[in-house]
Chains A and B, each alone.
Chain A
Amino acid sequence: MSEEMLFQKDDMEHALSDHVHESDESKYLIFRSSGILYAMSTDVVMEIFTHVDVTRIPMVPEYIAGVINLRGAVVPIIDFRLMLGRYPEGEPCAIILDIEGTQIGILVDTVDRMVDISKSAILPVPPQNEHPMVNGMCTVPGGTSTVMLLDAPALIRMSE
């Protein structure tokens, strides 16, 4: 797994003390995009589609796949893989999110599963690996794989 190798050299000394004494857990959805595992708070996840008909919109950046008709509402769809500068492979899954009242969908490779992650397990991303849309990382409970925690509101800020 490339993502594990990528982060094995992470210096865990960066762990900040304020992450330690909060132990409340929240649910996260784990998905895979271009070989990397991401986790997103389930608070913002509305639904998941394995197949969507996306209508392309001209004159927008390539990572905007287009719009879909979600029960009469027109919802924009972002190709998450292209957004992070990687190339999509295979038929994607669409995760529809409701971020602060704005509906938006992201295309990812596969949806993995739901997990509980406690706040204390979330560690900061080393500065040299930072990304504006990732606001933490952690090891999946009971497993060895590592997930990047996605900052949902940052998705929307991208277009502003």
Chain B
Amino acid sequence: MGMGNDMMEAYLFEMHSMLEQLDDLILSSEQAKTFSQDAVNEIFRIMHTIKGSSAMMEFNSLMTIAHRIEDMFFVIREKTMDAIPEDMRSDLFDLIFESIDFFRSEIEKIESDQPLSNDIDTFLNKINTFANKISGEGDGDAPAAEGGADEGGDAPAPASGELMAYASADFPYGMQVFFDEGAGMENLRAMMLVNAVKEVVDESQFDFHPADVQLNPDTATFIVDNGFILRFKTADDRTTAESAVRETGSVREYSPFDYAAGIAAQQSAAEEETPASAAVAAPPAASGTEAPPAQQSAAAQPASKHAAVKESLISVSLSKLDALMAVVSEIVITEAQVTASPDLKGLKLDNFTKAARQLRSLTDNLQDVAMSLRMVPVSGTFQKMKRIVRDMSKKLDRETNLILEGEDTEVDKTIVDSISDPIMHIVRNSMDHGIEEKKEERIAAGKDPVGQIILAARQTGSEVIIEIIDDGRGVNDEAVLNKAIRQGLAQPGTDYSHKDILNFLLMPGFSTNTEVTEYSGRGVGMDVVKSNVESVGGTVTITSELGKGMTTTLKIPLTMAIMDGMEVSVGESIFTVPISNIRQIFKASDMHIIQDETHGEMIKIVDNFYSIVRAKDFYSIQGGVDSFDEGVLLWVESGDNSFCLFVDQLIGEQQVVVKPLPEYVNNFGIKSSGISGCTILGDGSISIILDVANIYTAQN
């Protein structure tokens, strides 16, 4: 069987999206404390698909587990959730979660090219035991329970298994195919066989029986007993198909048979019946007999909705998007080079100017579209947190609700990847250290006994703001300060503001819990969160009120590829300062400058003093102005850090394409001096982009 890369990719993609869907489904069902019939159908459908495609890829562990769960949900579908006592339901949810985790870990193994689990018996037994409890038959042996409802269902073998019963006047040339004994999942094998025959014989030229092999797992038993029947219009087609049948895996034997005109009459009657009833029947399963088609239509609605969504999406490799982005960036630069060409100076070119303006707006458009391609909603990341909160609230026995807000906020794909871990860490922290251990504690504090964590995303003009708000204990300043002193981060006897103390939480080597727990505090702390977020140009701030909870805010620039910058000059050099960092630009006189005892300079803006960084001195640049009267001050801020940057003059505002500096120069650690990248200006010259946060850090 061909297992090309495309097939593998499609399989993995399908598995990932189905598992996510499943996660979602179970989480919301768990909240409702039951499975709706729709949910049961959906789970049944998903398990069926997982089973089918895993079988096709020959991933047996996945196939087997999915098969058992499918069987179990078949029973649940029959008996409905009402038949399952309340006290068993939470075990059921756990079991499904466990199987999702199992699927995930197997998928991970596939992705990293490791062998799949061989030893799935323990888990299998667990499922079987549970399935037996549900079916309530006390069905002694576990493997038999697998067949569960099916076994009862296929009692009356159709028409004594006489081959002629399956012949048809329209398709007189039949072939009966038997699969290897114990091959399992005969219905799927039959479907694969049909597909193989389709390769060589036109679809209209043959049919098969049972006709519903694909949808009805019960047909497997029929196929075991009676074989799978292929019927062709011509004998030639049948001969052609033989080779396909021969080459299909697990075919034990096949034999041709022909339609005999004599029994045509009785048959046509039987013929009408068989597809509908032969494969199934028997009272207990009678409803089950009807079920598949009915279910199909019930499931059809959500399923078709998914299908519609899928069809309007294509997946494109990130590298192609990067290539597109690069070209678009070049166009933006070139456009500026053409329309602002010095050759045009002083010329009166009405038509050109008009066309140039049009071009400008089109390139802007193009840029927006190209950028939007890389944007993905944060919902994927947010959804994952549901599961974490669910697992942890169970494990720690702290009932907690996770509320998601603004899930559809979109950010650059690379940013989503880099904030996923920080968010997870903060949510875990909130569960571990924030939410109170005992309900009584919460009640005593006048809070809802159920804890609450809000995960909210919203977008301002230039950045995405993600807040993780818990209503737990909040930060105990005293405890944090003591810890900070113990860790040598704080000086005993010094006065620290509430804000200073919260900042200790973000420092390397700080962890408020002395014990390492399963979920957080594995030697890494909020400092990792901070450095991860800063690596994408974002900031982290914490606010907290004792007893009320804690809020962690991540601010991340919307996109890093293109930004609005202010071009400034210092001596011969040109720098770009991100507009989003600039609070105000103003002129000052030497008279307004305040000196400190170490020749540091400050200036008072409104009610606060801010230190001044002279770009010229900071970067040891030759030339440039020294007197404040001749230059200009940029009041900049990043996160909580605010200061003034002194430069020679403003050149102007410009949308710039951010390019990384070559690794060769980055290796000299210039990033920590606030040199974060560069951009190519309209005239082809290079401007260096300054990172305000790092200048502040380096200066202090």
Cross-chain contact of B673 among A59, A75, A156 (Cβ < 8 A): A59
Q: Assess whether B675 is in contact with A58, with CB atoms less than 8 Å apart.
A: yes
Q: Assess whether A102 is in contact with B664, with CB atoms less than 8 Å apart.
A: yes
0 or 1 for each of B606-620: is its CB under 8 Å from A? (1 = yes)? 000000000000011
Query: A69-B685, A72-B330, A74-B686 in contact; A58/B661 too (CB < 8 A)?
Result: no
B interface residues, how many (CB within 8 angstroms): 29
* Complex interface: chain B residues within 8 A of A64 (CB): 664-665, 668
Report the bound CA distance from A76 to B659 in whole Å: 13
Cross-chain contact of B668 among A53, A56, A60 (Cβ < 8 A): A60
* Complex interface: chain B residues within 8 A of A40 (CB): none
Closest to A60 in B: B668
Closest to A56 in B: B573
Report the bound CA distance from A143 to B581 in whole Å: 61
Report the bound CA distance from A138 to B148 in whole Å: 86
Cross-chain contact of A69 among B619, B667, B675, B680 (Cβ < 8 A): B680
* Complex interface: chain A residues within 8 A of B573 (CB): 55-56, 58
Closest to A156 in B: B664
**In angstroms, how far is the closest chain B Cβ from the Cβ of A157?**
10
Query: Taking the complex as formed, is B621 at the interface, i.e. its CB lies under 8 A from any CB of chain A?
Result: yes
* Complex interface: chain A residues within 8 A of B670 (CB): 57-60
Query: Taking the complex as formed, is A100 at the interface, i.e. its CB lies under 8 A from any CB of chain B?
Result: no
Report the bound CA distance from A117 to B303 in whole Å: 71
**In angstroms, how far is the closest chain A Cβ from the Cβ of B632?**
19
Query: Taking the complex as formed, is B325 at the interface, i.e. its CB lies under 8 A from any CB of chain A?
Result: no
Query: Taking the complex as formed, is B2 at the interface, i.e. its CB lies under 8 A from any CB of chain A?
Result: no
Cross-chain contact of B664 among A55, A68, A72, A104 (Cβ < 8 A): A104
* Complex interface: chain B residues within 8 A of A76 (CB): 661-662, 664-665
0 or 1 for each of B381-421: is its CB under 8 Å from A? (1 = yes)? 00000000000000000000000000000000000000000
Query: Taking the complex as formed, is B684 at the interface, i.e. its CB lies under 8 A from any CB of chain A?
Result: yes
**In angstroms, how far is the closest chain A Cβ from the Cβ of B659?**
5
* Complex interface: chain A residues within 8 A of B333 (CB): 72
* Complex interface: chain B residues within 8 A of A75 (CB): 662
Report the bound CA distance from A72 to B665 in whole Å: 17
Cross-chain contact of B621 among A58, A74, A102 (Cβ < 8 A): A58
Report the bound CA distance from A60 to B678 in whole Å: 15
Q: Assess whether A61 is in contact with B685, with CB atoms less than 8 Å apart.
A: no
Report the bound CA distance from A106 to B330 in whole Å: 25
Give the interface SS of chain B, mostly helix, strand, loop or mixed.
mixed
A105-160 with Cβ < 8 A to chain B: 156, 159-160
Cross-chain contact of B686 among A59, A60, A68, A102 (Cβ < 8 A): A68
Closest to B616 in A: A58
A interface residues, how many (CB within 8 angstroms): 22
Q: Assess whether B619 is in contact with A58, with CB atoms less than 8 Å apart.
A: yes
Query: Taking the complex as formed, is A67 at the interface, i.e. its CB lies under 8 A from any CB of chain B?
Result: yes
**In angstroms, how far is the closest chain B Cβ from the Cβ of A158?**
9
Q: Assess whether B665 is in contact with A60, with CB atoms less than 8 Å apart.
A: yes
Query: Taking the complex as formed, is B577 at the interface, i.e. its CB lies under 8 A from any CB of chain A?
Result: no
Query: Taking the complex as formed, is B113 at the interface, i.e. its CB lies under 8 A from any CB of chain A?
Result: no
0 or 1 for each of A86-114: is its CB under 8 Å from B? (1 = yes)? 00000000000000001110000000000
Report the bound CA distance from A38 to B333 in whole Å: 38
Q: Assess whether B686 is in contact with A67, with CB atoms less than 8 Å apart.
A: yes
B644-683 with Cβ < 8 A to chain A: 659-665, 667-670, 673, 675, 678, 680
* Complex interface: chain B residues within 8 A of A74 (CB): 659-662, 678, 680, 686
* Complex interface: chain A residues within 8 A of B659 (CB): 74
Cross-chain contact of A159 among B330, B574, B664 (Cβ < 8 A): B664
Report the bound CA distance from A159 to B664 in whole Å: 6
Report the bound CA distance from A160 to B664 in whole Å: 8
**In angstroms, how far is the closest chain A Cβ from the Cβ of B696?**
16
Closest to A75 in B: B662
**In angstroms, how far is the closest chain A Cβ from the Cβ of B656?**
13
Q: Assess whether A57 is in contact with B665, with CB atoms less than 8 Å apart.
A: yes
**In angstroms, how far is the closest chain B Cβ from the Cβ of A53?**
7
Query: Taking the complex as formed, is B572 at the interface, i.e. its CB lies under 8 A from any CB of chain A?
Result: yes
Query: Taking the complex as formed, is B688 at the interface, i.e. its CB lies under 8 A from any CB of chain A?
Result: yes
Q: Assess whether B667 is in contact with A159, with CB atoms less than 8 Å apart.
A: yes
* Residue among B329, B663, B686 facing the most chain A CB atoms (10 A cut-off): B686
**In angstroms, how far is the closest chain B Cβ from the Cβ of A21?**
38
0 or 1 for each of A28-54: is its CB under 8 Å from B? (1 = yes)? 000000000000000000000000010
**In angstroms, how far is the closest chain A Cβ from the Cβ of B210?**
59
Report the bound CA distance from A91 to B670 in whole Å: 28
**In angstroms, how far is the closest chain A Cβ from the Cβ of B414?**
20
Report the bound CA distance from A55 to B663 in whole Å: 16
**In angstroms, how far is the closest chain A Cβ from the Cβ of B624?**
12
* Complex interface: chain A residues within 8 A of B330 (CB): 72
* Complex interface: chain B residues within 8 A of A68 (CB): 686
Report the bound CA distance from A156 to B665 in whole Å: 10
**In angstroms, how far is the closest chain B Cβ from the Cβ of A44?**
15
Query: A68-B686, A72-B330, A159-B667 in contact; A57/B673 too (CB < 8 A)?
Result: no
Q: Assess whether B662 is in contact with A72, with CB atoms less than 8 Å apart.
A: no
* Complex interface: chain B residues within 8 A of A102 (CB): 662-664
* Complex interface: chain A residues within 8 A of B662 (CB): 67, 74-76, 102-104
0 or 1 for each of B99-128: is its CB under 8 Å from A? (1 = yes)? 000000000000000000000000000000
Q: Assess whether A159 is in contact with B668, with CB atoms less than 8 Å apart.
A: yes
- A-B residue pairs in contact (CB < 8 Å), sample of 19: A53-B685, A56-B572, A57-B665, A58-B670, A58-B673, A59-B669, A59-B675, A64-B665, A67-B661, A67-B665, A72-B329, A72-B330, A102-B662, A104-B664, A156-B664, A159-B663, A159-B664, A159-B668, A160-B667
Given contacts A59-B619, A159-B663, 9 further A-B contacts (CB under 8 A): A58-B573, A64-B668, A67-B661, A67-B662, A72-B330, A72-B680, A74-B659, A74-B680, A159-B664
Q: What 9 A-B pairs come out closest when comparing CB atoms?
A: A58-B619, A55-B686, A159-B667, A76-B664, A76-B662, A59-B673, A60-B668, A59-B670, A159-B664
Binding site for A on B (CB under 8 A): 329-330, 333, 572-574, 619-621, 659-665, 667-670, 673, 675, 678, 680, 684-688
